[in-house]
């Protein structure tokens, strides 16, 4: 059975789709999935064994120069790739007008998604052949698992969802000479999700008692500057070079634990089953929090109300338990 999956962005949303693929592969052993995803996240589907082909879409980049020769050429290539196959099912797990118009409508096959009451942009439901009522009052992972089970007609497993990618990143931290480390994901897109730099510095100070290296990733120059500021004066803190998602996933797999603000990389940590403390002061983790094994939340009504003492106490317990 061959299906086309439409889930283009963001990083957390793409990662939340992986457990549904694991369910479907267990129910349909010959399953092959082509996945339409934003080019910046195209590495992620490749880690799952159910994925046959990744079809990158570049709407974020194309809309900056929609009429350029290069955009027209890339769009033609994308359409050709998407239209050449007839699928047994097309599942739009994004549920937006842009995913329906720029991806789902171009595919050949019966199109499945949420009904107009279960979708963020109801107009998108006009592009689907079969539509399902799936409650918003549950985690995003479970909503997508239900959509797949209904679309492909198999019983939804009652067990917790399995991302199915941890085995792709078998730990390489086998040398006794390798210094154990933790990762701090200190950056995110929304300003109100950030944790104060002073609290990060307080946590770094407290970490000296644990004899662990601290690694700080970054994705742009602003994040790099923050990482450099946090590392200043602390020989146990390493600012990592800019990494691909695959390289960063390997760093996570080899770590002792992770501390993160609410960001897509926190969800990547969850997908790899790593010990993870995620700080929630601007968002509610109930529906979109880190889902899976070894996930721990520290929640408050503001990021300013989460202290380094709280994080250190929780992190110390996790590391002692490893």
Instruction: Locate the domains of the chain by residue range.
Output: 2-164, 168-321
What pLDDT, on the 0 to 100 scale, is given for residue 174? Answer: 54
CA–CA gap between residue 210 and residue 204 (Å, rounded): 10
- For residue 258, what are its two tokens? 């992770």
CB of 241 within 8 A of CB of 224?
no
Q: pLDDT, tens digit, for every residue of 251-303?
A: 999 999 999 999 999 999 999 999 999 999 988 898 889 999 999 999 999 99
DSSP 86: B
Neighbour tally for 57: CB within 10 Å: 24
- Segments in the chain below pLDDT 50: none
What pLDDT, on the 0 to 100 scale, is given for residue 176? Answer: 56
CA–CA gap between residue 54 and residue 82 (Å, rounded): 10
CA–CA gap between residue 236 and residue 141 (Å, rounded): 36
Write down the pTM of the prediction: 0.95
DSSP 204: H
Neighbour tally for 88: CB within 10 Å: 14
3-state secondary structure of 7: coil
CA–CA gap between residue 183 and residue 12 (Å, rounded): 18
Reference 14, options 39, 45, 51, 57; nearest CA is: 45
135, with CB counted inside 10 A (0-12, 13-18, 19+), is exposed
CA–CA gap between residue 94 and residue 147 (Å, rounded): 11
What pLDDT, on the 0 to 100 scale, is given for residue 210? Answer: 86
CB of 48 within 8 A of CB of 165?
yes
What pLDDT, on the 0 to 100 scale, is given for residue 178? Answer: 74
Domain 168-321 has CATH 3.30.70.100: no
CB of 91 within 8 A of CB of 151?
yes
* Same topology between domain 2-164 and domain 168-321: yes
The CATH superfamily assigned to 2-164 is Glycogen Phosphorylase B; (3.40.50.2000)
């Amino acid at each position: 059975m061959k299906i086309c999956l439409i889930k283009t962005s963001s990083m957390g949303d793409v990662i939340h789709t992986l457990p549904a693929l694991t369910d479907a592969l267990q129910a349909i052993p010959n399953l092959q999935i082509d996945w339409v995803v934003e080019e910046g996240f195209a590495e992620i589907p490749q880690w799952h064994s159910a994925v046959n082909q990744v079809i990158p879409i570049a709407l974020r980049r194309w809309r900056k120069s929609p009429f350029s020769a290069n955009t027209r050429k890339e769009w033609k290539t994308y359409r050709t790739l998407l239209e050449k196959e007839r699928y047994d099912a097309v599942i739009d797990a994004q549920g937006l007008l842009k995913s329906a118009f720029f991806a789902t409508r171009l595919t050949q096959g019966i199109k499945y998604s949420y009904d107009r009451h279960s979708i963020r942009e109801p107009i998108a439901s006009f592009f689907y052949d079969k539509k399902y009522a799936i409650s918003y009052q549950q985690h995003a992972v479970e909503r997508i698992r239900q959509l797949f089970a209904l679309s492909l007609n198999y019983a939804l497993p009652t067990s917790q969802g399995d991302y199915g990618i941890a085995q792709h990143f078998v730990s390489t931290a086998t040398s006794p000479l390798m210094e154990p480390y933790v990762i701090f994901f200190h950056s995110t897109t929304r300003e109100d999700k950030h944790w104060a730099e002073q609290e990060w510095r307080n946590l770094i100070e407290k970490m000296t008692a644990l004899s662990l290296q601290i690694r700080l990733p970054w994705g742009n120059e602003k994040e790099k500057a923050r990482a450099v500021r946090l590392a200043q004066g602390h020989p146990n803190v390493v600012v990592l070079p800019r990494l691909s998602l695959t390289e960063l996933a390997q760093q996570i797999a080899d770590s002792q634990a992770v501390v993160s603000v609410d960001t897509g990389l926190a969800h990547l940590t969850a997908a790899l089953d790593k010990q993870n403390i995620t700080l929630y002061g601007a968002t509610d983790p109930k529906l979109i929090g880190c889902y899976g094994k070894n996930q721990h939340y520290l929640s408050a009504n503001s990021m300013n109300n989460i202290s380094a003492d709280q994080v250190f106490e929780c992190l110390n317990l996790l590391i002692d338990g490893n």
